[in-house]
Amino acid sequence: MTWQGMRFVDMHRLDRPVRVDALSGVAWRVNNEDDDHAFVVSHLSVGEILKAGEKIALEAKSVLEAEGLELHGGRRGKVFVLLGDNELRGSPSRLDVPKLLDDLAAVEAQLVARVGIDPLSMQNGPISEFDRAVAADFARQNLVLEEAAILPERVARAQRAVVLFTSGDAACVAVTELSVAKMRTLMEALGRPINPHMVDLPTLDLLDQLVYGPQKAERPS
């Protein structure tokens, strides 16, 4: 799998409302507003209607089908933004960042804070020796030091994340684990859409030193 296929916040276009025909796994609707203008989270089920402007979260390995629209939770869970016909660009750009941040904040406030479920933390990085080696090799081969420097050191080390490169407006970021809060923090710091690339801890430590140098030991108080 390449980094282009590892997006955890996806956008899909809807030119009309669609009915959920089939659902394997667990899905939530996280953006309906109540009378107090607060976001409401609810489980999705077959027969419900999806429309543009909504945000849908799928648990890992879940699949939702709705009149030709097919959403997959993937290996780690995903959040989907359903856009109107005139709102969708080819891929997320810097102009999309405020909306993506709002979407992540809504998911964090509802699923994470209220339900205790973070759809982006279902799996922490590559597990098998082969997957770890492939992920590490991709990270080392694609690290561009000049582009990695766009993420401030204090944010990179606090979030355990290193920018590998940029492609268009998006940044490919190596991380050892993922969460909605981390995605939001990195996106705020970069002002760009994020494409996470999962690596193991030794690889992340190596990337960190290559970009920022050895960490300075804290002075005893």
List, for residues 162-221, the tens digit of each pLDDT value: 999 998 888 999 999 988 889 999 999 999 999 899 999 999 999 999 999 887 655 554
List, for residues 82-139, the tens digit of each pLDDT value: 877 555 455 677 888 888 888 888 877 777 766 677 777 765 677 888 888 988 999 9
Q: Is residue 120 part of a domain?
A: no
pLDDT at 37: 44
Q: How far apart are CA 172 and CA 195, in angstroms?
A: 5
Which domain-ending residue is among 115, 143, 159?
Answer: 115
Q: Is residue 161 part of a domain?
A: yes
Domain match, 10 and 111 both: yes
Mean pLDDT for all residues in the chain: 81
Is the full-model pTM beyond 0.85?
no
pLDDT-derived band at 35, boundaries 50, 70, 90 = very low
Q: Which whole-number Å values give the CA distances from 8 to 71, 132, 133, in the listed order?
A: 12, 20, 22
Domain match, 7 and 110 both: yes
Domain match, 60 and 102 both: yes
Q: Is residue 221 part of a domain?
A: no
Domain match, 11 and 99 both: yes
List, for residues 2-13, the tens digit of each pLDDT value: 223 334 567 777
Domain that holds residue 151: 129-212
Domain match, 9 and 71 both: yes
Domain match, 145 and 94 both: no
Domain match, 142 and 101 both: no
Domain match, 137 and 108 both: no
Residue 34 has pLDDT above 90, yes or no: no
Which domain-ending residue is among 115, 141, 161?
Answer: 115
Q: Is residue 170 part of a domain?
A: yes
Domain match, 20 and 103 both: yes
Q: What is the CATH number of the domain that holds 172?
A: 3.30.300
Which domain-ending residue is among 115, 150, 176?
Answer: 115
Domain match, 84 and 134 both: no
Number of separate domains in the chain: 2
